[in-house]
């Protein structure tokens, strides 16, 4: 910085900050100013320094910078208004400088010491008014810069979020295709087994050398293999299609569970396994009849895999504070901690020789879509309980699923 010859009074009058000040008072201001030249990139104000001067820009452009990290600064803006005031806030607040001011080009500035500035504020009212206007304009421009900056950053964040959503959807799609591929390779051999059995017994029937009793036995075996094959393909389709749109109706659960049990009991009777009903809940629940039956059916099929003729499968229903609790219980050989923790994962078959490993994963998905909760209580050798809590009408355990369509109860 070097001091240079002051501008004339007539030159000062051309600047907005001095244009309405009488000559006598302007001479007073002129006597207290210094005229300084700053070279390009020379510091005019250092950040965190004590404010001992106020500056008026005569020519050039000033860059405003703030240190954000060690050896790294952020440019907050530029100042190039001839006759404009800067550096006054630290004097008025009596605090260290909040940012630095650097000559972005060669600059000429008028400098007034803190003592002289405060004296002028008291003795020259029009100068005080000009300073106040200058500060007000600077604050408005600063607000506008910040608003524009925030708007730009918000637009950038919105674009980034949109790209992230696109990427997430793409990854979910790829993951689903990958899982379907893994599932197809996993169950291909299992699908061959029932088809081979069907083909073999069909050939025996075609030979026409068997009694009616033998043919009925062969037909029964074929029918069972078709059911197994159908169940496996249904698992594959349900998983591949993802969450289907739910159609919820208000249902009297006592009658609904009775009908479900009537449909399930036949499989247990064929195997000689005891099927017990303990249905105490009488209220209404909104469910998708067909999809929720799939929950009960899949858990029942799991129980059949572990029960023998001495086994028992029990369906309980009871009222709890939030709605209905359904417990599906068997007295089979139970689950280890590892099996229980992984039971709802896709393709987890825990040693089964048949099935897709999707049955319980689909159960969990359907219960979630009903805004319900499902848990397993089981230990090795102690049997297994599947505990399902569903909200009664008007009560939600979880946020409403995007897959649900509510259908009013007929007659309500």
94-147 pLDDT, tens digit each: 778 888 999 999 999 999 888 888 888 788 888 777 777 777 776 777 778 778
Residue 350: which CATH number?
Answer: 3.30.565.10
* pLDDT of 385 higher than 50: yes
Three-class SS of residue 281?
coil
Residue 79: which CATH number?
Answer: 2.60.120.10
The answer as to whether 234 is a domain residue is no
Q: Cβ atoms within 10 A of the Cβ of 283, count?
A: 15
Model confidence at 401, in pLDDT bands (50, 70, 90)? Answer: very low
The answer as to whether 41 is a domain residue is yes
- For residue 5, the 8-state DSSP code is P
Boundary (domain end) residue, out of 96, 123, 150: 123
248 and 113 in a common domain: no
The answer as to whether 155 is a domain residue is no
Q: For residue 191, what pLDDT is reported?
A: 63
The answer as to whether 32 is a domain residue is yes
Model confidence at 234, in pLDDT bands (50, 70, 90)? Answer: low
The CA-based diameter of the chain, rounded to the nearest angstrom, is: 132
**Region 394-400: what's the mean pLDDT?**
53
Q: For residue 198, what pLDDT is reported?
A: 76
Q: List, in order, residues 6 or more apart from 385 with CB less than 8 Å away.
A: 327, 328, 329, 376, 377, 378
Q: For residue 70, what pLDDT is reported?
A: 81
* pLDDT of 272 higher than 80: yes
CA–CA distance, 337 with 321 (Å, rounded to integer): 29
248 and 116 in a common domain: no
The answer as to whether 63 is a domain residue is yes
The answer as to whether 282 is a domain residue is yes
117 and 252 in a common domain: no
* pLDDT of 276 higher than 90: yes
* pLDDT of 195 higher than 60: yes
| More confident position, 199 or 253 | 253
pLDDT 10s digits, 37-80 = 999 999 999 988 888 888 989 999 999 999 888 888 888 888 88
Q: What is the edge-to-edge ordering of all strands in the sheet holding 284-287?
A: 284-287, 246-252, 404-407
Q: List, in order, residues 6 or more apart from 353 with CB less than 8 Å away.
A: none
The answer as to whether 169 is a domain residue is no
Boundary (domain end) residue, out of 123, 152, 183: 123
Q: Please state the separation of Cα 274 from the chain's center in Å.
A: 46
pLDDT 10s digits, 156-192 = 888 888 888 888 878 777 776 676 666 565 555 456 6
Three-class SS of residue 320?
strand
* pLDDT of 275 higher than 90: yes
Average pLDDT of the chain to the nearest whole number: 80
Query: Which structural domain range is residue 36 located in?
Result: 2-123
- The number of domains in the chain is 2
Boundary (domain end) residue, out of 81, 101, 123: 123
CB 91 within 8 A of CB 98: no
The answer as to whether 221 is a domain residue is no
Q: For residue 411, what pLDDT is reported?
A: 35
pLDDT 10s digits, 284-322 = 899 988 888 889 988 998 898 888 888 999 999 999 988
Pairing of strands 312-320, 323-330: antiparallel
């Amino acid at each position: 910085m070097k001091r240079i010859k002051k501008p004339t009074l007539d030159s000062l009058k051309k600047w907005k900050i001095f244009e309405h000040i009488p000559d006598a008072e302007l001479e007073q201001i002129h006597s207290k100013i210094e005229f300084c030249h700053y070279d390009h990139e020379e510091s005019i104000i250092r950040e965190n320094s004590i404010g001992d001067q106020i500056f008026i820009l005569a020519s050039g452009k000033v860059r405003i910078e703030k240190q954000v990290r060690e050896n790294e600064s952020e440019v907050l803006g530029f100042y190039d208004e001839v006759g404009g005031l800067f550096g006054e806030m630290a004097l008025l607040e009596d605090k260290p400088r909040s940012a630095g001011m650097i000559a972005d080009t060669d600059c000429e500035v008028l400098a007034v010491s803190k003592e002289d500035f405060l004296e002028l504020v008291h003795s020259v009212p029009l100068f005080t008014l000009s300073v106040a206007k200058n500060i007000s304009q600077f604050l408005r421009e600063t607000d506008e810069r910040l608003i524009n900056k925030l708007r730009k950053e918000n637009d950038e964040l919105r674009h980034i979020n949109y790209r992230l959503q696109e990427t997430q959807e793409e990854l979910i799609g790829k993951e689903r295709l990958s899982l379907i591929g893994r599932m197809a390779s996993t169950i291909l051999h299992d699908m061959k087994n029932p088809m081979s059995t069907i083909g073999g017994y069909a050939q025996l029937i075609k030979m026409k050398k068997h009694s009616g009793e033998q043919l009925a036995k062969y037909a029964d075996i074929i029918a069972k293999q078709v059911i197994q094959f159908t169940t496996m393909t249904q698992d594959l389709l349900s998983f591949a299609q993802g969450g289907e749109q739910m159609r919820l109706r208000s249902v009297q659960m006592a009658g609904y569970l009775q009908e479900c049990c009537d449909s399930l009991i036949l499989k247990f009777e064929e195997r000689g396994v005891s099927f017990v009903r303990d249905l105490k809940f009488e209220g209404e629940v909104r469910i998708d009849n067909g999809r929720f039956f799939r929950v009960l059916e899949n858990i029942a099929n799991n129980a059949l895999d572990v029960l023998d003729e001495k086994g028992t499968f029990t369906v309980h229903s009871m009222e709890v504070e939030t709605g209905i609790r359904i417990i599906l219980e068997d007295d089979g050989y139970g689950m280890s901690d590892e099996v229980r923790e992984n039971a709802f994962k896709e393709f987890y078959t825990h040693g089964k020789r048949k099935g897709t490993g999707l049955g319980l994963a689909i159960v969990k998905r359907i219960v979630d879509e009903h805004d319900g909760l499902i848990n397993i209580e089981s230990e090795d050798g102690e049997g297994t309980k599947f505990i399902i809590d569903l909200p009664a009408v008007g009560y939600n355990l979880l946020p409403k699923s995007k897959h649900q369509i509510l259908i009013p109860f007929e007659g309500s």
